[in-house]
Amino acid sequence: MVELVYRPTRADILAGVRLREHRRRLHLVRWGFTGLFGVGAVLVVTAPESSTQSFVAAVFCAALIWSIPHLQAHHVLRTVSWQGEYRTSVSETWIATETAHVTLVQRWSVFRGYRETHDHLVLLSRDPNILVVEVLPKRGLRSPQDAERLRALVSRHLPRV
């Protein structure tokens, strides 16, 4: 069993949101709309009879669409941060997360796979829309050897995606 102790941060949640977005190919849609509104802003500026309101609206929409993962991470952090310290145990049969207010136990069968980043192991749920993302921040481990044990344990149960 490997144990992690941590407080969720925006970077933790953003890692999960970005991975989920890439797996579902939503980043292509997001960048497409950001580019579309960016081009619209340029066209408004170069048009002979353009309005400032149109330019501001196009730039605002481009910035808003670009920032969606950051807004989602901010919202999720506000939702979970009040619970304080998280203690997560990863065993051969389950992943259990406990706070002062909640205990959540998930079997390996909930997840379709995992992806490792420099600072996190991110587990993705099996459902078509990947509604559950479990982010395991490596900073919550006690030692570098625990990181190796965690990686080995997760890779025994889930494929790398």
Find out whether 146 and 2 touch, Cβ atoms under 8 Å: yes
Q: Running along the chain, 161 residues long, what does each successive block of 10 average in pLDDT?
A: 95 91 82 87 82 85 90 92 94 95 94 93 90 92 93 95 88
Distances (CA, A) of 97 to 56, 79, 136, 143: 45, 16, 10, 19
For the chain, what are the domain ranges? Answer: 2-24+74-157, 26-70
For the domain 2-24+74-157, what is the CATH code?
2.30.29
Give the span between the Cα atoms of 8 and 45, in whole angstroms: 42
Give the span between the Cα atoms of 83 and 80, in whole angstroms: 6
Q: State the pLDDT at residue 7.
A: 95
